[in-house]
Amino acid sequence: MTGGTAGIDVPDRRGRTGLDRTGRDLTGNPRVRVRDVRLLSCSWYVLLKTTFDYQHADGHWSVEERESYDRGNGATMLLYNLERRTVLLTRQFRYPVYVNGHPDGMLLETPGGLLDADDPETAVRREVQEETGHHIGEIEHVFDVFMSPGSVTECVHFYAAPYEPGERATGGLGVAEEGEDIEVVELPFGKALAMIRSGEIADAKTIMLLQWAALEGPFRSG
């Protein structure tokens, strides 16, 4: 049996092949012509190095190289209670922020995660149940955002839904097999906004949903 390259001509650990063809069939922007795609890593997520021709606004062409990291798309949800004027967040350890200067790596966040094979609404309901133990009823789609477009392909789907404190189901607090160790934190909405200004809440998706809730969402005034 002859060998091959994982992710290219033999399946990687997630069963993927042909990853080096990613982007070669794109035709939506005539100012971009993909020349070459190199697979740098597919240990779990996918790191690619792409060489392409790019036509600038003045008409001249240049050869560009970019690395892109594909971890799949995600979904997140703001859980709120209007009567109590509270929001429900999670706290968990995030090594990348710890190594990049966060004091202890323990981030306060809205619950969420990757879509995997699910649609965004199914995925966000799953993640909320796994992380907080709450089964959510009707939900509101807020917006979809590319969180780090310079290097990461991920698009995150944002949602919001009310929760009832006394209706917490069994489960929650993360999936042990995935190394999750999650604390559920209920905060007064005003305090959560103040924690953005103090730096105690430093997660982008959480800040965006809290500010949406204040400007257009359930806690808007007037």
SS3 per-residue string spanning 153-177? CCEEEEEEEECCHHHCCCCCCCCHH
Model confidence band, residue 1 (pLDDT cutoffs 50, 70, 90): very low
pLDDT of residue 21: 96
Alpha-carbon separation of residue 72 from 135, 153, 160 (angstroms): 24, 7, 21
For the cut 80, the answer to whether the pLDDT of residue 180 exceeds it is no
Model confidence band, residue 3 (pLDDT cutoffs 50, 70, 90): confident
Q: In a 10 Å sphere around its CB, with 0-12 CB exposed, 13-18 middle and 19+ buried, how is residue 90 labelled?
A: buried
- Tokens representing 118 are 């699910």
What would the mean pLDDT of 119-145 be, rounded to a whole number? 96
117: left (phi over 0), alpha (psi -120 to 50) or beta: alpha
Model confidence band, residue 181 (pLDDT cutoffs 50, 70, 90): confident
Alpha-carbon separation of residue 12 from 4, 6, 63, 118, 188 (angstroms): 10, 5, 30, 21, 45
Number of residues assigned to the chain? 222
- All structural domains of the chain: 19-70 (no CATH), 74-215 (3.90.79.10)
